[in-house]
Amino acid sequence: MGVLDGIRVLDYGRFIAAPWCSALLADMGADVIRVEKREGGEDRWVQSVADSGEGGTFLQCNRNKRSLTLDTTIEEGREVTRKLVAGTDVVVANMPAAGMRASGLDYDTLRAIKPDIILASATAYGEGGPYSDRIGFDGAGQVMSGAVYRQGLPDTPIRTVVPYADFGTALTLTIGVMMALYHRDRTGVGQHVEGALLPTALMLSNAFLIERALLGTDKPRMVNQGTSVAPCDLYRTSDGGWVLLQIAGPPMFKRWCRLVGRPELFDDPRFADDDLRWEHGAELNDIMAQWCADKTKTEVLALLEAAKLPAAPLHSTQDVLDDPHVEAMGYLQRMPFPGTARDVPIIETPFRLSETPGAIRRRAPLLGEHTEEILGEIGYSADQVKSLRSRSVV
């Protein structure tokens, strides 16, 4: 039994922030209905990996859901929406406020149908400011948070390819939904939960902003080196591999000095604390690079592990798929999907509960796969569904 058994969620989300939020709710037992356009949401077809066109991110973010196609821009479609909302606990969406109102998904409209409804909305910039009507993807949060300004090559800022602002917003939105459900259980009152890419990215880069506000300085872009500690970098090994090492604090630095055969560095005033080690990081990183240069990746990792220093190998995507720890922990669950050459490795629920763990019970749905089933649950007969199809409502 899932902790959210009995909770119904309508998912009008696209791409990552809203769909990943509702996927986590589905993992925990909620009945999540993905509502999308008759031709399919744009996010369904990005980075296609299946014969039917579904993309990798879609398969991840839409497991455990049922699919309903619906034209929410016409009155008959909005009537279906109203009937769905009447039996729903949470509506999840990511679109500008104007689009929410046009689709009848704004909070005032929803709570007029179901007073205790919870609306969870994700936008790029948040509602109420001069940027609120702008659209934006993950990269907008990254570049406007100050993070990209601080990362990359000395003359080239580099955006992170992993959409962390999107996935981070999904996580914060999920926390908000759970808080709202808890509040509703105690009071009977629903509410509007808001998440946005920019404040999520600001949360993740907040230390940079504090440093700037208080010290009036920005550290230079350091490629793969640490932003505040040293030695810290990716170091190449004799067999062409790469190893990450991150040293912080005196005990760790002392063990590193002994490991590389330079115990005198621990008493060198240039390296007396983390800030000073960072300022003189070029010398420390050069020492580490030379130490790694005549050792294989396996040798380097074994010696660092024995010295209890935080290190990790640079994995290729295939290395991740083959990693024995990833396999033993079951982090990637392989599931069949129509039209893929082999089973799809889907990340499990990214947290584990001892009593009510999440579970991936079904693959992501094909477009409109559960339309008849869902409409039947809210009172439509087979003939009525056929009529809706004939008029392109579903």
Q: Is 166 an annotated catalytic residue?
A: yes
**What confidence tens digit (pLDDT) does each residue in 21-59 have?**
999 999 999 999 999 999 999 999 999 999 999 999 999
Q: Are 57 and 353 contacting, i.e. CB atoms less than 8 angstroms apart? A: no
> Please, what is the Cα angle at 113 between 112 and 117, to 5 degrees?
90
Integer angstrom CA distances of residue 251 from 272, 273, 307, 308? 12, 11, 11, 10
Share of the chain above pLDDT 90, in %: 93
How many Cβ atoms are within 10 Å of 278's Cβ, its own excluded?
Answer: 21
Give the residue-averaged pLDDT of 147-175: 96
Structure tokens at 47: 């980075």
Residues 96 and 18: their CA atoms lie apart, in Å, by 13
The answer to whether 197 touches 136, Cβ cutoff 8 Å, is yes
Residue 103 has pLDDT above 90, yes or no: no
Alpha-carbon distances, residue 309 vs 124, 227, 246, 270 (angstroms): 39, 18, 8, 21
230, pLDDT greater than 90: yes
Catalytic residue among 31, 166, 233, 274: 166
3-class DSSP state for residue 335? strand
pTM recorded for the entire structure: 0.94
In this model, does residue 199 exceed pLDDT 90?
Answer: yes
Number of other residues whose CB lies within 10 A of the CB of residue 363: 21
Confidence band of 371 (pLDDT split at 50, 70, 90): very high
345 or 95, which is more confident = 345
Phi then psi for residue 165, to 5 deg, are -65, -40
Tell me 363's DSSP state. Answer: P
Q: What confidence category does residue 387 fall into, taking pLDDT thresholds of 50, 70 and 90?
A: very high
Q: Report the pLDDT value the prediction gives residue 351, as an integer from 0 to 100.
A: 95
Q: Are 231 and 310 in contact (CB under 8 A)?
A: no
Helix locations, 126-273, DSSP H: 138-144, 164-187, 197-204, 206-215, 250-259
Distance (Å) of CA 226 to CA 56, 150, 219, 252, 305: 32, 11, 11, 15, 20
Instruction: Give the per-residue pLDDT at 96.
Output: 77
The whole-number pLDDT of residue 265 equals: 97
